[in-house]
């Protein structure tokens, strides 16, 4: 059974083509890059990184999230985020890596894997957007983010605990609603409620939802030849597991699908121990050096 261990983490701001990006690195060994989704930050990997013993774990806050401010110009959709990720990976000198991406981070990681296959030894996609699939809840949040007020409507949804934990709020993220409190609330919800800059950044990311980029991913999936592990919450109603299984068959390399019966969109938050076990098993199978 994988155990969490003490891991010293170093963090700093790096400049990627004129964009300031918060970067964290810890551990030693083959390179693993973990990519967060919306409305999360590098902190979403807090319970996973200590369990990935024997690897150098790299995390970047995408523009508009956590310690990375919004880009002064341009969009913040999947395509532009994948370009930033590529620039960040090159900036810190990663030659080859395994990518782990959740939610929108899964799309960004997949786009990078399709664009730069020579740099990707493996890919882990956990609960992520599916080309051709429309999530009603996601559309509601996109519409709310595009309303005037730089995310004020998102705050209105999140400030009431009953609404926040309902299916119209964040209730569909977890099977166990208790996971919406405690650390998760402190790291991801409280900043949205209390910090205008954080709220504006996350609203901008969502309002720039990149439909063309998602469609493009559907076209590029056969070009993703790296071995890929899909880790999915079987009860995920936002991105259904049945559709994810069909998506996996479109990838160009070998694929493995693992379902967590008691998880929804965020299996790494809901069951970090098992998530880490599956990641380590996959990483070991790649025989990285």
pLDDT at 3 over 80: no
**Residue 1 — very low, low, confident or very high, per pLDDT cuts 50/70/90?**
very low
Residue 52 has pLDDT above 70, yes or no: yes
- pLDDT single digits (tens) 210-233: 999 999 999 999 999 999 999 999
Percentage of the chain lying above the pLDDT 90 cut: 80
Name the pairing type of β-strands 120-126 and 228-233.
Answer: parallel
What global pTM score does this model have?
A: 0.94
Query: What would the pLDDT profile of 114-124 be if each residue is shown by its tens digit?
Result: 999 999 999 99
Please report the pLDDT score of residue 152 as a whole number: 86
Rounded distance between C-alpha atoms, residue 155 and residue 153, angstroms: 5
Mean pLDDT of the chain: 93
Residue 107 has pLDDT above 50, yes or no: yes
Burial bucket for residue 149 (CB in 10 Å: 0-12, 13-18, 19+): middle
* Predicted confidence (pLDDT) at residue 7 exceeds the cutoff of 60: no
CA 165 – CA 178 distance, rounded (Å): 9
- What's the rounded mean pLDDT across residues 3-30? 84
pLDDT of residue 6: 47
Q: What are phi and psi of 128, to 5 degrees?
A: -140, 165
Task: Select the highest-mean-pLDDT range: 9-13, 66-70, 117-121, 152-156.
Answer: 117-121
H or E segment at 215? helix 211-220
Please choose, from the candidates 81, 77, 97, the residue with its C-alpha nearest in 3D space to the C-alpha of residue 212: 77
260, 232 Cβ separation under 8 angstroms: yes
Q: Does position 267 have pLDDT exceeding 70, yes or no?
A: yes
CA angle 70, 75, 78 (to 5 degrees): 100
Determine the Cα angle at 20 with ends 100 and 93, to 5°.
Answer: 55
* CATH class of this structure's domain 9-134+211-285: alpha beta
Average pLDDT over residues 30-34: 98
Domain ranges of the chain: 9-134+211-285
pLDDT digits (tens, 9 = 90+) for 195-215: 998 999 999 999 999 999 999
Percent of the chain with pLDDT over 70: 97
């Amino acid at each position: 059974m994988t155990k969490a261990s003490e891991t010293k983490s170093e963090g700093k701001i790096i400049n990627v083509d004129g964009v300031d990006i918060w970067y964290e690195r810890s551990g030693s060994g083959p390179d693993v890059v973990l990519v967060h989704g919306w409305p999360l930050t590098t902190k979403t990997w807090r319970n996973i990184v200590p369990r990935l013993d024997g690897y150098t774990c790299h995390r970047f806050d995408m523009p508009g999230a956590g310690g990375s401010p919004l880009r002064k110009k341009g969009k913040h959709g999947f395509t532009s985020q994948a370009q930033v990720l590529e620039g960040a990976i090159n900036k810190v000198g990663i030659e080859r890596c395994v990518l782990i991406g959740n939610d929108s981070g899964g799309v960004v990681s997949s786009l990078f894997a399709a664009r730069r296959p020579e740099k990707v030894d493996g890919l882990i996609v956990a609960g992520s957007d599916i080309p051709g699939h429309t999530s009603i809840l996601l559309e509601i949040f996109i519409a709310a983010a595009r309303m005037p007020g730089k995310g004020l409507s998102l705050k209105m949804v999140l400030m009431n605990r009953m609404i926040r934990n309902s299916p119209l709020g964040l209730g569909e993220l977890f099977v166990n609603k208790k996971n919406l409190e405690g650390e998760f609330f402190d790291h991801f919800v409280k900043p949205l409620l209390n910090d205008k800059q954080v709220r504006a950044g996350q609203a901008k990311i969502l309002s720039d939802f990149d439909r063309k980029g998602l469609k493009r991913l559907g076209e590029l999936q056969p070009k993703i030849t790296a071995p890929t592990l899909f880790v999915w919450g079987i009860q995920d109603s936002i991105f259904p597991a049945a559709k994810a299984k069909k998506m996996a068959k479109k990838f160009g390399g070998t694929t493995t699908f693992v379902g967590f019966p008691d998880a929804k969109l965020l299996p790494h938050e809901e069951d970090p121990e098992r998530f880490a076990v599956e990641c380590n098993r996959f990483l070991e199978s790649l025989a990285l050096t």
